[in-house]
């Protein structure tokens, strides 16, 4: 699909979470997140015993060619605002949990983080991260929903605890690059292990600069995985 044709396209997709819906839409359009404009049409909601539950719905379209200084500056202002909204929300949440922690906002590899640095106790760190990062994922979802409600824009801020998320991102990116190089040499498609939506996004973003390769997600949650292959 040519760039001019893609730029005309706009689609809506639904899934159990916003990130899964975005992933499906980007995969269908054949673009990366950096090449797309994304709007959250509907937040997901899980009703009692599954009754009155609703999926996440996102609208995604290919961004235009023009991305001047004014647009970039506006994006940075939105990111700054969202980081402050997220920080205040987390301060209140951690206070309610009686967890002593310091918060700061940082930018690393183009990602805006609200970093949580727990006090002296390792127990607080373990509590906030959870097994395989499940509690941190839940914190991220709470922050994402709150930021969207307050700013009426899709949340671009990541929550991290003691650099856990950054270490995880670096580890997955390294494995994705290694897999991409193997696929490039052999021509044989390779499937990564099952991952959460956040982790799959890291793989998609890491492989995107390999112009002769493409990625796609296959399988159902929680066994959904990214497949790296040569472009047809």
Query: Cα(17)–Cα(197) distance, rounded to whole angstroms?
Result: 9
Specify which of 29-38, 64-73, 213-222 reaches the highest per-range mean pLDDT.
213-222
Contact 30/1 with Cβ under 8 angstroms? yes
Cα–Cα distance for residue pair 9/64, rounded to 1 Å = 11
Residue 63: pLDDT band (50, 70, 90) is confident
Distance CA 178, CA 89 (A): 38
Beta-carbon count within 10 A of 6 CB: 16
What count of other Cβ atoms lies within 10 Å of the Cβ of residue 3?
10
Give pLDDT tens digits for 107-154.
Answer: 998 889 999 998 766 788 999 999 888 899 899 989 998 998 999 888
Q: Which of 18-32, 47-61, 165-179 has the lowest mean pLDDT?
A: 47-61
pLDDT of 66 over the 50 cut: no
CA–CA gap between residue 50 and residue 168 (Å, rounded): 32
Could you tell me which residues are beta bridge partners of residue 177?
none
Sequence-ordered alpha helix ranges (H) in 111-196: 122-129, 134-151, 164-186
Least confident of 65-74, 80-89, 189-198, 218-227: 65-74
- pLDDT at residue 14, rounded to an integer: 92
Q: Would you state the pLDDT for residue 18?
A: 86
What pLDDT, on the 0 to 100 scale, is given for residue 46?
72
Length of the chain equals: 232
Chain-centroid distance of CA 77 in Å reads 19
Report the distance separating Cα 115 and Cα 97, nearest Å: 17
Both tokens of 188, joined, read: 């044989």
- The candidate with the shortest Cα–Cα distance to 166, out of 136, 138, 193, is 136
Tell how strand 190-191 and strand 213-218 pair up: unpaired
Q: Residue 132: its pLDDT value, please?
A: 85
Closest CA to 166 of 218, 107, 85: 107
Q: Indicate whether this model's pTM tops 0.85.
A: no
CB 187 within 8 A of CB 203: no
């Amino acid at each position: 699909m040519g760039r001019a044709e893609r730029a005309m396209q706009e689609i809506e997709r639904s899934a159990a979470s916003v990130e899964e819906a975005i992933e499906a839409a980007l995969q269908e359009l054949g673009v990366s997140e950096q090449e797309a404009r994304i709007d959250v049409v509907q937040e997901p909601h899980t009703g009692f015993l599954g009754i009155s539950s609703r999926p996440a719905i996102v609208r995604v379209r290919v961004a235009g060619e023009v991305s001047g200084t004014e647009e970039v500056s506006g994006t940075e202002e939105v990111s700054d605002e969202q980081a402050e909204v997220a920080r205040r929300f987390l301060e209140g949440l951690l206070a309610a949990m009686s967890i002593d922690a310091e918060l700061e906002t940082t930018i690393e590899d183009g990602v805006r983080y609200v970093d949580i640095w727990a006090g002296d106790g390792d127990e607080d760190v373990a509590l906030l991260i959870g097994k395989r990062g499940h509690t941190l994922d839940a914190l991220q979802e709470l922050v994402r929903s709150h930021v969207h409600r307050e700013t009426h824009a899709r949340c671009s801020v990541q929550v991290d605890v003691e650099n856990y998320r950054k270490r995880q991102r670096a580890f997955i990116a390294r494995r994705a690059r290694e897999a991409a190089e193997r696929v490039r040499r052999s021509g044989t498609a390779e499937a990564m292990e099952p991952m959460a939506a956040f982790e799959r996004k890291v793989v998609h973003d890491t492989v995107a600069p390999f112009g002769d390769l493409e990625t796609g997600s296959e399988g159902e949650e929680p066994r959904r995985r990214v497949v790296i292959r040569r472009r047809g």
